[in-house]
Amino acid sequence: MADAMSLGADCIITIGAIQSNHCRATAIASKYLNLDCFLILCTSEVNVDKDPGLSGNLLIERLVGAHVELATWEEFEKIGSLALLNLVQERLVKEGRRPYIIPVGGSNSLGTWGYIEAVREIEQQLQQREFGEVSFDDIVAACGSAGTIVGLSLGSWLSTLKAKVHAFAVGGDLDNYYEYAQALLDELQANLRSCDLLHIQDEKGLGYAISTTEELAFIKEVAETTGVILDPVYSGKAAYGFSKDVKKNPAKWAGRKVLFIHTGGIFGLYDKSKQLNDTVGKWNRMEIHDLISPKDSSQFW
């Protein structure tokens, strides 16, 4: 956003899935800076010509006035995200606008610096007296478009942490994720190989943004136990995958201090309300008929 402002942009264009956390965050940040926001949201062929509704992130985006344009996943894969972004950019330029493009997930060399700085902040916090001798052997996070994990990996490698980064991929092919990560490292001129810097595991389950009953039950268990709300698309899948890996490979994690990075996105849970209904449907009518008679009710008004 600082780059967009410095270049004199008057609007922002970005792209993501129909419940993209990145797009919702971009829409809100744009409004903070009085910039118009144009979102390309990818959905299924069946839903692309329908009103996308007001669930989850969509409600927030439409509430702040973002311009939502729908495309299909088939178009995304065939044409590519950059081509779709360029189409909107060309149209806006013809209208006399000054658009600024942010790539899918905010994952480019500039966006990656956000999590390099996050590691710097973690390092500074650990130097504070109340943390004593606390350190971390491993960092665990979800992986979507690779910007987060590359930033964490590079930040850890550059810092005193030297923690190994374990990423749980929430969609797509593992080889592609290493390629995405490598492209970002090359863009940053890091002269490092992604396969040496981080470890990526598959945890997409049934697919990107598709939740299993077991995944949602895990999110519910974490919420009831700790009060921490995980999102169903990213951190929820990553925490679920990490939990399974700890149980399956206890020797791998024995004695290690692990920092789990929760990357947000809880609005996506609202899109899962129907699936969650049976799990969280504990309610009942309050029984008050034995406590108060009709003639006494006036005292409450």
Would you please indicate which residues are annotated as catalytic (active-site) residues? 20
List CB contacts of 206: < 8 A, sequence separation 6 or more: 212
Question: In whole angstroms, how far apart are CA 106 and each of 30, 79, 124, 224, 232?
Answer: 14, 19, 25, 32, 20
DSSP β-ladder status, 258-260 and 138-143: parallel
Largest Cα separation within the chain, whole Å, is 81
Matching residue, tokens 């967009």 = 4
Matching residue, tokens 């290690």 = 256
The conformation of residue 33, written as its DSSP 8-state character, comes to T
| Residue closest to 96 by CA, chosen among 11, 223, 173 | 11
| Residue closest to 118 by CA, chosen among 167, 154, 144 | 154
| Residue closest to 60 by CA, chosen among 29, 81, 83, 35 | 29
